[in-house]
Amino acid sequence: MSKQASLLEDLRVQYEVAGASIPAHADVETVKQIDFRLRNAFHWLEKAVTYLDRLQLPIEHRFDLGHGVAFDGPRFSQGSVGKHTRRNAGFPVLDEINVYYEISAMKSPTIEVGRSAVVVAQKFLDDAGLQYITQSAADESGAAAKCCISVRPVIAAMISFHADYLTGLITVVLVNVDRFDRVALEFPSRSLDDDILEDLVRLILGRDDSFLHRAPLAGIHGQASTELVDS
C-alpha cells in the first residue's frame, strides 16, 4: 500500500513540474474554437478580396527593386482566396488560408544592360518573381552590344495563414505585400478577429502598417516586429 502511495506521490510531483514548464502559448484554444476562427477569417477575406478585386484600389506602397526597376501607380487586381482542410480526431478542420493577388503597375519597367550582364540581371528579376522579355539592341555597327529587358508590370503577392492546433499559433506569411520580400509573423489564435483582418487589408493597400506591430516574427516571441516598419 505504501509503495502505491509513493508511486502516486511521485507521479503528482512529476505532473506539477511538467505543468510549470509548459510555455506560455500552451494555454491554447480548443480545436473547435481555432477552426471556428479560421472559417470566419476565410469568409471575411473572401468578401474583402471580392470587393478589392472589383474596385482595383490604388496601393500606396513603393515597389522599387533598384537598377531602374520601379513600379509606378500600383493597384490591387486578380485576387482570390483558397483554403485547405485536414482531419483532426476524425473531423475536418481548416488549417490553411491562402490569399493570392496581383499588384498591377501603370507601365512596364525597362532596363538596358550589356550582354555580359544579362544573366545577372535575369537572375535578379527571377529572384523577385517577376516576368520579363529580353531583346537584343544593336549598336551603330549592327552588332548586338546591349540587351533591353522589359518587365511585365505585375507583381505576384501572397498571404497565407497556417494554423498549428497543438500550440495555438497561427503563422501569417506575407510575400511582396508591402515590399519585395517574404515576412512571417506569429499570432495566437485568439487574436484572429475582424480587427486584425482589417489591419491586414490596410497594410495591403498601404494605408497603415499596424498589422506589422501586432505580432513577433515567426519563431521570435515576446516582441512585436516593429523593426519591419521602417526597413
At 68, is the pLDDT very low, low, confident or very high (cuts 50, 70, 90)? confident
Q: What is the pLDDT of residues 208-231, one digit of tens each?
A: 999 998 887 775 444 444 444 444
Distance CA 149, CA 146 (A): 10
- What sign does the dihedral 3-9-11-17 (CA atoms) show? negative
C-beta separation of 104 from 72 below 8 A: no
Q: Which residues pair with 132 in a beta bridge?
A: 151
Residue 167 has pLDDT above 80, yes or no: yes
The predicted pLDDT at position 184 comes to 94
Backbone Cα Rg of the chain: 24
pTM above 0.75, yes or no: yes
What's 191's DSSP letter? G
Q: Which residues pair with 182 in a beta bridge?
A: 175
Write out the three cell numbers for 207. Answer: 494605408
Residue 135 has pLDDT above 90, yes or no: no
Q: What is the pLDDT of residues 108-117, one digit of tens each?
A: 888 888 887 8
Question: 179 phi and psi, to 5 degrees?
Answer: -170, 170
Residue 48 has pLDDT above 70, yes or no: yes
The single-letter code of the amino acid at 2 is S
Distance CA 73, CA 219 (A): 35
The predicted pLDDT at position 55 comes to 95
Per DSSP (E only), the strands in 30-123 are 63-66, 69-71, 75-88, 91-104, 110-114
